[in-house]
Structure 1
Amino acid sequence: MSRLAAAPLLALALAACAVPEWQKPGTPLADIERTMGRPTLAEPLESGGQRLVYSRQPAGQQVYHMDFDASQRLVRVTQVLTLENFQALRNGLDTQDSVRRRFGPPALLERVASFDGPIWTYRILDNGAPRQAHVHIDPAGVVRRVMFTDERLRDLDPPH
């Protein structure tokens, strides 16, 4: 294989191996983007820094916030798809935009007859158990309720 053809494959392989929680504080933003690839979202922070959001949805159960200071150096990495973070959403106050900034796009966008508006479903792990967080958003874009269900990935017991 020629060197020109091998270089893009090597870059792709290295990006696929990058893990957010292994990134070290102080790493420049440009280095993170080079190893991690393009983020799902990028948001300015009040401190003058920036937050890169890397989502593993819809198949994965993690969304990482990578916060950078004003000098574009990594300050912290936080996995935000937790039961506690969804329980902290404020019905009637949080909005579709604040949910997207916090958790990125949902794994599933659903509707049910008993609620007028979309339901954003995120796949999460709760103490190692696969669950789903369902964020009900009314037509005005306001969070009205958050519900949780167990996510059954496979039958553990064979049929009898």
Structure 2
Amino acid sequence: MGAAALALLLGCASAGRMPLGTTDAAVKAQLGSPTSRTTVPEGERWLYSQLPSGSEAHALSFDAAGRLVRIEQVLTAAAFEALLPGQLTEAQALDRFGPPLRVERVARFDGDVWTYRFKVVNDLRLAHLHFDRQRVLRQMLYTDELPLLADPRD
């Protein structure tokens, strides 16, 4: 793993432990630039994602004065289970969860499937969000992420 990738992974791991009240400048100095930034009525929401290597993405909410007021781990079973087909667009998914682990197509669906990795206790799971050609969520499926097995030739 390269130094930049390691720094990113370590930075994301500590995003969930930033003290409330920290200024946005101090957060950026410690964690670097966020994966994404969104303006919200209260101020700004910064997302620090561990994907594609990890299974967490932390949303840090700042008030209008630039102070950290809330931290939320957004890649959770509850967050995905709360999604309703027809009520989420690709743009909203990017704002809420950040970029997916991968985007692909499957034979029996006319659109893109966005896959996110998350944990349930210590088990890695995958949420597959199916977006139609209008970029609207139509269905979701869940699978287990199987661990990589050692090469039997070793």
Is the structural similarity TM-score above 0.5? yes
- Candidates 41, 44, 48, aligned match of 1:46: 41
Question: Residues 70 and 109 of structure 1: is their aligned pair in 2 closer, same or farther, counting only changes over 3 Å?
Answer: same
Please list every run of 5 or more consecutive structure 1 residues that lacks an aligned counterpart in the other structure. Answer: 1-8
Counterpart mapping for 1:34-113 below 5 A? 34-47=29-42, 49-113=43-107
Question: Percent same amino acid among aligned pairs?
Answer: 38
Structure 1 runs (4+) greater than 3 angstroms displaced: 13-18
- Quote how far apart the aligned CAs of 1:116 are: 0.4
Pairing 1:142–2:148 present: no
- Structure 1 residue aligned with 2:22: 27
Contact kept, 8 Å, 1:15 with 1:35, in 2: the verdict is no
1-structure distance, mates of 2:50, 2:144: 19
- Structure 2 residue aligned with 1:3: none
- Quote how far apart the aligned CAs of 1:154 are: 2.8
> Given the two structures, how large is their TM-score scaled by the length of structure 2?
0.88
1-structure distance, mates of 2:113, 2:8: 32
Figure out how many residues of one structure are paired with residues of the other and give that number. Answer: 146
- Structure 2 residue aligned with 1:126: 120
Which of the pair is proportionally richer in strand? 2
Please list every run of 5 or more consecutive structure 2 residues that lacks an aligned counterpart in the other structure. Answer: none
Give secondary structure in 1 for the equivalent of 2:111: coil
- Quote how far apart the aligned CAs of 1:153 are: 1.4
Contact kept, 8 Å, 2:9 with 2:50, in 1: the verdict is no
- Quote how far apart the aligned CAs of 1:17 are: 4.4
1-structure distance, mates of 2:41, 2:30: 26
> Given the two structures, how large is their TM-score scaled by the length of structure 1?
0.85
- Quote how far apart the aligned CAs of 1:38 are: 0.7
Contact kept, 8 Å, 1:15 with 1:34, in 2: the verdict is no
1-structure distance, mates of 2:135, 2:109: 13
Give the greater-gyration-radius structure (CA): 1
For residues 58-95 of structure 1, what are the alpha-carbon distances to aligned partners after superposition, in whole Å with 9 as ceiling and x for unaligned? 11100110000010000011111001101111101111
Instruction: Letter of the 1:77 partner, please give it.
Output: I
